[in-house]
Amino acid sequence: MGVVGLDHVQLAIPAGGEDRARWFFAELLGMTEVPKPANLSASGCWFTGGSMALHIGVDHDFRPAKKAHPALLVDDLAALREALAAAGHPIREDKPVEGYTRFFTEDPFGNRIELMERA
């Protein structure tokens, strides 16, 4: 008995933010939107990238996550850094972590996102 893996991470967004979430996670970060099961709320959206799943849910009392965050593993951190900066998203360096290059940014709602590439 015990944890055997991670199924998904969920981030909250304000009501009506789905199109901005789609632009950020699908268009900018290159994730793939997948359909939500029909028996779940129509609000929000789901994405996959590699073996990782990210669920975006509407929170009517939304406050951005400033400390808690997903760390997304990417395959071209330098290109992603340029694309995020060009789109006006912050790039925040942090202390090095052995075996990775990384930085933090924010989604369109102010949620903290860490982007990492294996060195």
Each residue's pLDDT tens digit, 14-29: 999 999 999 999 999 9
In a domain, 67, yes or no: yes
Overall number of domains in the chain: 1
Signed CA dihedral, 14, 109, 12, 65: sign only: negative
The whole-number pLDDT of residue 116 equals 98
Tokens 């990210």 sit at which residue?
54
Whether the predicted pLDDT of 54 surpasses 90: yes
In a domain, 79, yes or no: yes
In a domain, 1, yes or no: no
CATH of the domain at 92: 3.10.180.10
Q: Read off the pLDDT of residues 73-116 as tens digits, 9 standing for 90 and up.
A: 999 999 999 999 999 999 999 999 999 999 999 999 999 999 99
The whole-number pLDDT of residue 1 equals 87
In a domain, 80, yes or no: yes
Domain holding 60, by residue range, is: 9-118
Nearby residues of 40 by Cβ (< 8 Å), 6 or more positions away: none
